[in-house]
Amino acid sequence: MLTIAFIRHGVTNWNLERRAQGQSNIPLNEEGILQAKAVGRRFEGEKWDAIYTSDLNRAKTTAEEIGRVLHLDVIGDERLREVSFGDIEGTIEDERVERWGPNWKDLNLNIEETEEVYKRAQSFMDEIRNRYEGQKVIVVSHGAFLNDLFKLLLGDQFEHCRLDNTSISIVEFLEDQCEMKLLNCSTHLSTIGEKEA
């Protein structure tokens, strides 16, 4: 059985401002770094075999905190990048309405098509499932990408949701079956402040 823990990166200033980040390379803010350290501590004493991450800084920094705890090198993979939000990257909703009107979602603003996201997600998953059968892998990525990935893997069993920063979702794979064992868990965030004090 293959077990994968999927983790969304820690928070950034653009998250707080509700700006579309997409593939813009925005770093974690101070709170995001504390969140990354907290999710790293959650894995203390556990045995995992590999850590993969999006190559964008906010995910990579989050993954490196986990790698520090588990004494594992982090493997960057651009297939795990966030969905590209095209022309809307860096904007908030009000700016989008001002620039393109209230029906901006109906326009072609060069946002990456879901089918393209599925292609790179499927390519990554095929590789991981072939390489790590019977092992445990951590994958650090992004909210929209992970939602699409979960939909790809689980179909109608999964409803799109807002994944919290540094939340953990665990999927187990047994032969051709996969099952979500944990979704959007961020209980580790309650430890922020305990270790830093």
Residues catalogued as catalytic: 9, 82
**Angle at CA 163, nearest 5°, toward 31 and 122?**
120
Structure tokens at 171: 């999927």
Q: Which residues, 6+ apart, have CB-to-CB distance to 197 below 8 Å?
A: none
Structure tokens at 136: 């445990």
**Angle at CA 66, nearest 5°, toward 60 and 72?**
90
Do the beta carbons of residue 166 and residue 135 sit within 8 Å? Answer: no
Q: Which residues of 94-127 are buried (b: 16+ CB within 10 A; e: fewer)?
A: eebeeebeeebeeeebebbeeeebeebbeebbee
